[in-house]
């Protein structure tokens, strides 16, 4: 099928490359010319395991193309994905201006054939109908500007605000659940696919698009039964995305709250989480206590849901509490450093990891940023080593932190280390050597990730979260 993906970030580029890999002909559109140039040369602008390989293979077979020309993409695609960012506004609402610009642009470039416009961006509930309206605005504006005659529509539903324009498209909500760091794997091995629309025609095309994935033709385990496809209305599909992220964030806040109680009563939250997680009604995933959730999705999606509830006269108390617990948790490492080192002014603290999770280069709303800010405010010098940030030299707007090129340079002269991101390689560093380079060999394990016995055997004082 002919597909256009607009916005080539973590979601759009992975979606485009994976759809090309399963045989569709994809044009990816981005308004960032530099990114487009990079992608045309076969390089991925983001770090995501396995992405460059499938991108390059698809370029070779001619299944994927990159452009900044929206008209080329819209003309090509029978299915048009909107996958631009929806960052948070200071009020907690989603900033939908990029989605709006793309929807208007689609309208301005829409040609005769029937199109399915798919919201893959995480957008506030009700955005499906809003996108339809903006696309209609775009069509009307173009027709007014060019004096084009009104074309007879083939499909879709009449929109009363634009009786002069007959739509020839439908809107589908198809929320994305991939996780950065395993995005390609997640796309080929999803737990479910959610499709929201009131158009049977659009849903049929979407099902056809995803058939190879639903049939697990590209899955790690091809013997599994087909991927469940939930077909529902637009608003419910949009809500599935917010409710999923809100649930996962709340689950982490829950175990962090339990960890803080464990700390006080002398229980070990790792053992407690094991005991809880063995209950099949609860499950063991997302029960790792630590320094809180962050990243580009959980904080903004939970805030946006709280905001939506508020708009409709409901106070989302549980979600607000999950956020409050998280805000406090993100500074728990500072509390622990103060307990061990007392005064932080004049001390040097080394952060192991900067990105919000391992196997990604994404620093958006990473807990490391709060830590750096707070430690600097308290007069400490902050150094950091991160496998991706140190290697790529990308600073992601980092200030007040010295980024070291290897773990030993990081340890040199430090009064304590804080493990911020659970990169696998941090388990196997030469802690004996690192400890000898430090002023005081202390490690705050912000993810309960290190082998406590091995760390203590290397001469460190080990402090976990809730242990």
Ligand X SMILES: NC(=O)c1ccc[n+]([C@@H]2O[C@H](COP(=O)([O-])OP(=O)(O)OC[C@H]3O[C@@H](n4cnc5c(N)ncnc54)[C@H](O)[C@@H]3O)[C@@H](O)[C@H]2O)c1
- How would you list the strands of the sheet with 461-463, edge to edge? 402-403, 381-385, 348-352, 416-419, 442-445, 461-463
Please answer whether residues 65 and 96 qualify as being in contact, where contact means their C-beta atoms are separated by less than 8 angstroms. Answer: no
Is 290 an interacting residue with respect to ligand X (CB under 6 A)? no
Residue among 55 and 344 whose Cβ is closer to ligand X:
55
| Token digits of residue 145 | 């500007």
Q: Minimum CB separation from ligand X for residue 322, in Å?
A: 18
Residue with nearest beta carbon to ligand X: 9
Number of C-beta neighbours around residue 248 at 10 A: 17
Q: Which of residues 292-321 bind ligand X (CB under 6 A)?
A: 296-297
Closest CA to 80 of 183, 2, 152, 197: 2
In the list 3, 4, 5, 8, the residue contacting ligand X (rule: CB under 6 A) is 8
Does 122 interact with ligand X (rule: CB under 6 A)?
A: yes
Site for ligand X in 19-58 (CB under 6 A): 29-32, 35
Q: Which of 3, 9, 329, 401 binds ligand X (CB under 6 A)?
A: 9
Sign of the torsion angle spanned by Cα atoms 312, 313, 317, 320: positive
Query: Least distance in Å: CB of 360 to ligand X?
Result: 8
Cβ proximity to ligand X, 86 vs 109, nearer residue:
86
Pairing mode, if any, of strands 442-445 and 416-419? Answer: parallel
Separation of alpha carbons 188 and 172, rounded Å: 20
Q: Is 190 in the site for ligand X (CB under 6 A)?
A: no
Binding segment for ligand X (CB under 6 A), chosen from 84-92, 345-353, 376-384, 385-393, is 84-92
Fill in the per-residue mask, 331 to 360: x = in contact with ligand X (CB under 6 A), - = not in contact.
------------------------------
Please count the residues of this chain forming the interface with ligand X, following the rule CB under 6 A: 26
Binding mask 170-189 for ligand X (x = CB under 6 A): ------x-x-x---------
Smallest distance from ligand X to CB 171, Å: 15
DSSP 443: E
The dihedral formed by the CA atoms of 89, 90, 93 and 97, expressed in degrees to the nearest 10: -20
- The 3-state DSSP class for residue 383 equals strand
Catalytic: 4?
Answer: no
Contact between 398 and 370 under an 8 Å Cβ cutoff? The reply is no
CB of 271 to ligand X, least distance (A): 31
* Residue 355: half-sphere exposure toward Cβ, Cα within 13 Å: 21
User: Under the criterion CB under 6 A, does residue 88 sit at the interface with ligand X?
Assistant: no
Residue whose entry in the numeric block shows the structure tokens 């490359």 = 17
> Which residues form the interface with ligand X (CB under 6 A)?
6-12, 29-32, 35, 83-86, 98, 101-102, 121-122, 176, 178, 180, 296-297
Q: What is the set of active-site residues?
A: 297
């Amino acid at each position: 099928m002919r597909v256009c993906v607009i916005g080539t970030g973590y979601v759009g580029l992975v979606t485009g490359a994976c759809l090309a890999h399963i045989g569709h002909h994809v044009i990816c559109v981005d308004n960032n010319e530099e990114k487009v140039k990079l992608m045309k040369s076969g390089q991925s602008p983001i770090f995501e395991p396995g992405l460059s390989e499938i991108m390059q293979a698809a370029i070779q077979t001619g299944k994927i193309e990159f452009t900044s020309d929206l008209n080329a993409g819209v003309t090509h695609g029978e299915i048009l994905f909107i996958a631009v960012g929806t960052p948070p506004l200071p009020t907690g609402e989603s900033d939908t201006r990029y989605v709006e610009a793309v929807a208007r642009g689609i309208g301005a470039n829409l040609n005769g054939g029937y199109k399915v416009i798919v919201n893959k961006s995480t957008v506030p509930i009700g955005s499906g109908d809003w996108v339809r309206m903006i696309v209609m605005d775009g069509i009307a504006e173009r027709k007014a500007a060019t004096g084009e005659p009104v074309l007879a529509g083939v499909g879709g539903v009449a929109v009363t605000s634009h009786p002069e324009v007959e739509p020839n498209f439908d809107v589908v909500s198809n929320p994305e659940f991939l996780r950065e760091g395993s995005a390609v794997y997640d796309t080929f091995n999803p737990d479910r696919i959610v499709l929201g629309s009131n158009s049977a025609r659009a849903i049929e095309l979407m099902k056809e698009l995803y058939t190879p994935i639903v049939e697990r033709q590209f899955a790690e385990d091809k013997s599994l039964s087909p991927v469940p496809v939930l077909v529902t209305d637009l608003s419910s599909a949009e809500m599935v995305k917010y409710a999923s992220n809100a649930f996962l964030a709340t689950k982490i806040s829950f175990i962090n709250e339990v960890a803080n109680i464990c700390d006080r009563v002398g229980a070990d939250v790792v053992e407690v989480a094991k005991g809880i997680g063995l209950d099949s009604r609860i499950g063991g995933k997302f029960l790792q206590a630590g320094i809180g959730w962050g990243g580009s999705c959980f904080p903004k999606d939970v805030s946006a849901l709280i905001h939506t509830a508020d708009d409709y006269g409901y106070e989302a108390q549980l979600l607000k509490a999950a956020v409050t617990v998280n805000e406090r948790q993100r500074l728990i490492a500072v509390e622990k450093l103060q307990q061990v080192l007392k005064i932080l002014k004049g001390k040097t603290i080394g952060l192991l990891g900067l990105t919000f999770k391992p196997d990604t280069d994404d620093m958006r709303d990473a807990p490391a940023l709060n830590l750096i800010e707070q430690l600097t405010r308290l007069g400490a010098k902050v150094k950091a080593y991160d496998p991706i940030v140190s290697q790529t030299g990308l600073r992601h707007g980092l200030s007040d932190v010295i980024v070291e090129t290897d773990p030993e340079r990081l340890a040199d002269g430090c009064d304590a280390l804080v493990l911020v991101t659970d990169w696998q390689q941090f388990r196997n560093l030469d802690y004996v050597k690192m400890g000898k380079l430090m002023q005081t060999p202390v490690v705050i394990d912000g993810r309960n990730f290190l082998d406590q016995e091995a760390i203590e055997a290397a001469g460190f004082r080990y402090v976990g979260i809730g242990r």
